[in-house]
């Protein structure tokens, strides 16, 4: 994923806004699932130095069977940052969908992010827009998580995907067009009648919003204009295949 100045500023904003949250003395990891060493690993380095392997297990189980909401907020800036770094480091990490799903998880010890302080909500929203812009403008061959994955991630935390879809329609870079073509060809939208499993299966309304958007004449016009510009490029066949598949 591209490391844009917008994305850098958004990540730094997360660190500033959530810096007051300190790690609890006991993160109360489920003893059936985690050993004391797992808890020690979280404290083995400074927050910004924790890598994908250090935070993988915690991020998977955070809020569900490991730690409080305060603990989650402590790690959230680094978790969000790692989601943007895994492609470059070639280290596996959790899916963005699973992270964003935790933002709306409610229990006796956690609340939906839309009830959090305004500054925290704004920091997360700024990150979401910045990471989306970076994804759109990234070479599709270098993306660990494709635009469809990120849209499914946003759908876990938000009911309306129009800000992201509007941004895609306005994006003029060649990679934004290539990513659009690849989603049509590889992810089967908008021709599928329902989500093909995965995280979007539980967000049918947002998935349908994406399908309806792809069927808009403006999206077809965007794809056709990309064919006019780049039909002779090495990736011209991708654009052609998408144009054929688009209803």
pLDDT digits (tens, 9 = 90+) for 189-245: 999 888 877 899 999 999 999 999 999 999 999 999 999 999 999 999 999 999 999
DSSP SS3 for 110: strand
> Which DSSP symbol is given to 173?
S
Token pair in block for residue 131: 């990471």
- Residue 109: band (very low, low, confident or very high) from pLDDT cuts 50, 70, 90: confident
Angle of helix 162-170 relative to helix 147-157, nearest 10 degrees? 150
Token pair in block for residue 123: 């920091």
Nearest to 56 by CA among 32, 38, 68: 38
Backbone angles phi, psi at 64, to 5 degrees: -75, -55
Specify the pLDDT at position 91.
61
pLDDT digits (tens, 9 = 90+) for 28-76: 888 888 888 888 889 999 999 999 999 999 999 999 999 999 999 999 9
Specify the pLDDT at position 72.
97
Distance (Å, whole) CA 55 – CA 190? 35
Alpha-carbon torsion (127, 207, 93, 19), positive or negative: positive
pTM for the model:
0.94
Distance (Å, whole) CA 162 – CA 167? 8
Residues contacting 190, CB < 8 A, separation 6+: 184, 210, 211, 212, 214, 215, 246, 247
Residues contacting 89, CB < 8 A, separation 6+: 51, 52
Specify the pLDDT at position 89.
47
pLDDT digits (tens, 9 = 90+) for 110-146: 999 999 999 999 999 999 999 999 999 999 999 989 9
At residue 87, does pLDDT exceed 70?
Answer: no
Q: How buried is 100 (Cβ within 10 angstroms: 0-12 exposed, 13-18 middle, 19+ buried)? A: buried
Distance (Å, whole) CA 25 – CA 158? 32
Angle of helix 5-18 relative to helix 118-136, nearest 10 degrees? 160
Please say whether the beta carbons of 199 and 95 come within 8 A. Answer: yes
pLDDT digits (tens, 9 = 90+) for 137-184: 999 999 989 999 999 999 999 999 999 999 999 999 999 999 999 999
Name the CA radius of gyration of the chain, rounded. Answer: 19
Token pair in block for residue 32: 């059936």
Token pair in block for residue 71: 């603990």
Residues contacting 12, CB < 8 A, separation 6+: none
First to last CA, the chain: 30
Delimit the domains of the chain by residue range.
5-245
């Amino acid at each position: 994923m591209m490391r844009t100045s917008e994305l850098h500023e958004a990540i730094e904003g997360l660190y500033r806004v959530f810096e007051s949250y300190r790690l609890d003395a006991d993160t109360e990891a489920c003893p059936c699932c985690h050993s004391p060493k797992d808890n020690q690993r979280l404290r083995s380095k400074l927050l910004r130095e924790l890598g994908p392997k250090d935070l993988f297990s915690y991020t998977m189980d955070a809020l569900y069977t490991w730690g409080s909401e305060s603990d989650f907020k402590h790690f959230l800036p680094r978790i969000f940052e790692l989601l943007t770094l895994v492609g470059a480091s070639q280290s596996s990490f959790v899916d963005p969908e699973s992270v964003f799903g935790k933002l709306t998880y409610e229990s006796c010890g956690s609340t939906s992010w839309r009830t959090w302080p305004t500054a925290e909500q704004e920091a997360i929203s700024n990150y979401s827009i910045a990471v989306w812009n970076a994804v759109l403008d990234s070479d599709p061959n270098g993306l660990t998580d494709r635009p469809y994955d990120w849209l499914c991630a946003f759908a876990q935390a938000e009911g309306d995907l129009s800000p992201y879809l509007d941004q895609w329609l306005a994006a003029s870079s060649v990679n934004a067009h290539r990513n659009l073509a690849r989603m049509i060809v590889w992810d089967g939208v908008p021709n599928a009648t329902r989500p093909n499993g995965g995280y979007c299966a539980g967000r049918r309304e947002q998935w349908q919003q994406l399908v309806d958007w792809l069927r808009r004449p403006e999206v077809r016009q965007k794809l056709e204009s990309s064919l006019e510009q780049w039909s002779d490029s090495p990736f011209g066949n991708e654009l052609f295949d998408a144009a054929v598949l688009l209803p």
